[in-house]
């Protein structure tokens, strides 16, 4: 506060009026001035104190507001942190159970693979028993079936079929005549021309073969082959007269391999034809008896020497081949 302020304050202070009849005591003026001054100073101090109090109240209020806001935000952050922790725990739990589920799935898949491998082995054992019975009954040679299988695999491979399918066509092909177990011996081994009735009994081996091979997925291709290996591309085959691509691919392949091998093998009623003569019959049957595209592939295999190689390898692997009859 400046000196001027103090002076103004003293001059404006109103104290009790002096009685004009009473003589003024000496120094009364000075005293009054001092009193005015004291009152003004007190007023100013009060005003100042009031302003400071108000300012302080404002600052306090603002700080309180900030503090409340800060506390609210802190509370919210704590909540969020708790929530984030819970999410993280949930996520970790989910990942854990996902990992456990995956491990369980991998274990199940491994068991499935083992079971499937065992089933495959059982199936292949079943095939060998069936074939043993069929070959004894039909006097078919084991080498005939081995060559048919190798020819079928070579054709399928040349056609670019996947390895699994090539293998399936191969093992399924050896069952093409299993239905002959039910064919009476006198018809099966007859060397004279078959009557119509006898021929209809022969045709039955396709249907019997399909039935004997049950319903398992493992024998699905084998069933198709057993049923359709005497069907013809032109629809004049048996037992159903299917034609073209109505006949399964596997059966169309087996049909060529089976006829070629029957022609080029020695039988009790005929000598073995040369590979060239056998191949001519196959080529002549293209588009009539056989699928022309498969015939083309088969001829190409012959030209590459593959058929001869297969025949030699099979002969070398089983020298005690028996003679028999097949492909009636």
Q: How many residues lie near Fe ion (CB under 5 A)?
A: 4
Q: Can residue 286 be called a binding residue for Fe ion (CB under 5 A)?
A: no
Element (H, E) at 315: helix 306-317
When asked if residue 291 is in the footprint of Fe ion (CB under 5 A), the reply is no
Q: Is 194 left (phi over 0), alpha (psi -120 to 50) or beta?
A: beta
Q: Which stretch binds Fe ion (CB under 5 A): 42-50, 51-59, 108-116, 169-177?
A: 169-177
Q: How many residues does the chain have?
A: 328
Q: Nearest approach, Cβ of 114 to Fe ion (angstroms)?
A: 34
Whole-angstrom Cα distance, residue 168 to residue 152?
10
CA distance 239 to 154: 27
Asked if residue 213 binds Fe ion (CB under 5 A), the reply is no
From 75, 82, 180, 236, active-site residue: 180
Compute the least distance from the CB of residue 115 to Fe ion, in Å: 32
- Short-list 319, 318, 284, CA closest to 298: 284
Rule CB under 5 A: which of 225-264 touch Fe ion?
258
Which residues inside 172-191 make contact with Fe ion, applying CB under 5 A? Answer: 177
Q: Does 208 bind Fe ion (CB under 5 A)?
A: no
Q: Is 242 a catalytic residue?
A: no
Are the C-beta atoms of 295 and 283 separated by less than 8 Å?
yes
210 near Fe ion, rule: CB under 5 A? no
- Under 8 Å between Cβ of 177 and 140: yes
Least Å distance between CB 285 and Fe ion? Answer: 16
Residues 6+ apart with CB under 8 A from 325: 138, 139, 140, 188, 189, 267, 268, 269
Rounded to a whole number of angstroms, the minimum distance from the CB of residue 121 to Fe ion is 25
In the list 135, 221, 255, 326, the residue contacting Fe ion (rule: CB under 5 A) is 326
By beta carbon distance, the residue nearest Fe ion is 326
Interacting residues with Fe ion (CB under 5 A):
177, 258, 326-327
Which are the catalytic amino acids?
A: 180
């Amino acid at each position: 506060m400046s000196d001027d302020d103090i002076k103004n304050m003293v001059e404006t202070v109103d104290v009790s009026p002096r009685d004009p009849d009473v003589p003024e005591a000496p120094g009364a003026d000075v005293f009054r001035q001092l009193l005015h001054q004291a009152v003004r100073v007190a007023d100013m101090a009060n005003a100042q104190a009031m302003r400071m109090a108000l300012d302080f109240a404002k600052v306090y209020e603002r700080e309180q507001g900030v503090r409340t806001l800060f506390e609210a935000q802190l509370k919210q952050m704590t909540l969020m942190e708790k929530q984030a922790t819970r999410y993280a725990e949930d996520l970790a739990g989910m990942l854990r159970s996902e990992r456990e589920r995956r491990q369980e799935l991998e274990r199940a898949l491994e068991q499935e693979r083992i079971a499937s491998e065992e089933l495959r082995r059982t199936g292949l054992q079943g095939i060998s028993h069936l074939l043993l019975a069929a070959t004894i009954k039909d006097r078919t040679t084991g080498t005939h079936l081995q060559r048919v299988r190798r020819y079928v695999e070579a054709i399928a491979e040349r056609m670019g079929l996947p390895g699994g399918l090539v293998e399936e066509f191969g093992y399924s092909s050896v069952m093409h005549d299993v239905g002959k177990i039910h064919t009476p011996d006198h018809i099966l081994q007859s060397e004279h021309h078959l009557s119509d009735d006898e021929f209809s009994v022969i045709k039955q081996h396709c249907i019997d073969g399909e039935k004997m091979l049950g319903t398992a997925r493992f024998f699905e291709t084998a069933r198709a082959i057993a049923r359709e290996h005497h069907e013809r591309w032109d629809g004049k085959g048996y037992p159903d007269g299917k034609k073209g691509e109505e006949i399964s691919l596997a059966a169309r392949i087996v049909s060529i391999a089976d006829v070629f091998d029957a022609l080029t093998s020695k039988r009790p009623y005929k000598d073995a034809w040369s590979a060239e003569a056998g191949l001519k019959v196959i080529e002549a049957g293209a588009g009539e008896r056989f699928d022309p595209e498969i015939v083309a592939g088969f001829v190409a295999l012959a030209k590459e020497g593959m058929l001869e190689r297969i025949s030699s390898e099979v002969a070398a692997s089983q020298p005690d081949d028996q003679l028999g009859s097949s492909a009636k």
